[in-house]
Structure 1
Amino acid sequence: MSNKRDRKVGRPSLAEERAAVQSGGDERRAAERRRLEQHFGEETPGRALIAASWFAAGAVTLTGVIGWLVGGPFEIIAFVVSLVLFFAGLLAAMVGFVVAAARSRRDRLDLGRLALLTGIAPPRVRKSLFGALAVQVIGGLLPAIATKGLELDFGTLVPMMGVGLIFWWGAAYGDFPPLDEDGR
């Protein structure tokens, strides 16, 4: 009944309003894709950070699986690799924070976009970095679940490396708008 009443007054129905909002979202996403393609082109900046993230994913998975299957000294190797990658991830996050702080003087950074790379990174970079993070999570978690000892449990700390490198990439290479003249 209210639907008929709204149409008589000239108001759109809820379904029409929802459709309008969704079509606007599609247009915004397409414009964002075009902007990112124009800004980055075929170039992939920060390849070393992406490679480091995949290296960490491979290292935690390989040492965790070997430590799980063979045990003994290989569990200790997996433990050491996990701690080294965790602390390297903390360092990467700190470097990303310093880069973001320096960059915030000229660009309008957004913490949500910085951490998730939404709208600031080409899809290929975002997929690669978050794919490596997913492998780090799975590669650290499965051996930890499968064993009774504590050595392989430290593999669950390795995703800090992926998170730190994502933050660093976003701070260093993300496409953020410049600050206005008044600094806002």
Structure 2
Amino acid sequence: MTMISEPDVPAIELGHRETVPGKPSRARMIGVIAAGALLVTAINVTAAVYLYRGVNDLKTIEARLDQLGQFEQRIGARIDTVNNGFQSRFETLDRQLQASFGRINGDVARLEQGQPAAASAPAPGAPEPSMLGNTTVADASAAYEGGADPADAQPSFKRKVAPPGPNPSYQRIQQPDGKVYYKKIN
């Protein structure tokens, strides 16, 4: 290998380099990039931790909401049971009230005809006769034609007492918003 040398040109030293003014050094550039990467990594780790906590909180809330739905179903079932109990009590009271009104109407009808109400009233707890008040005009006219004296004949028919109506039923109606209504059906 041939070397050309000029005595006027200064020799170049390879170990020491001069920096150009206005241009950053490579070590400084690598340090800035490393610091930036470290900052982005710290932000990503922090975001991942908060996201993980948020997902766990969301799962916990969903589990509580599922429990709340089951609790609502249990409460609804208990309320329906209570409603049915009240309805059956009201129906029983209604039947008893209708029976009492029927007895009162029968007593009033007997009093209007001049019969003592206490003498003809059945004993409490004893069943009422099924044929009471079911005498028709045809039966009375047959008794009259049978030779009974019209002056002595007292009409044998009585005013018909309306029996209590059928036991009312209730239809349960649940609306989409969860409200429950009961409609009376005859």
TM-score tier, shorter chain, comes to under 0.3
Q: TM-score normalized by structure 1?
A: 0.26
Q: TM-score normalized by structure 2?
A: 0.25
Give the structure with the larger helix fraction: 1
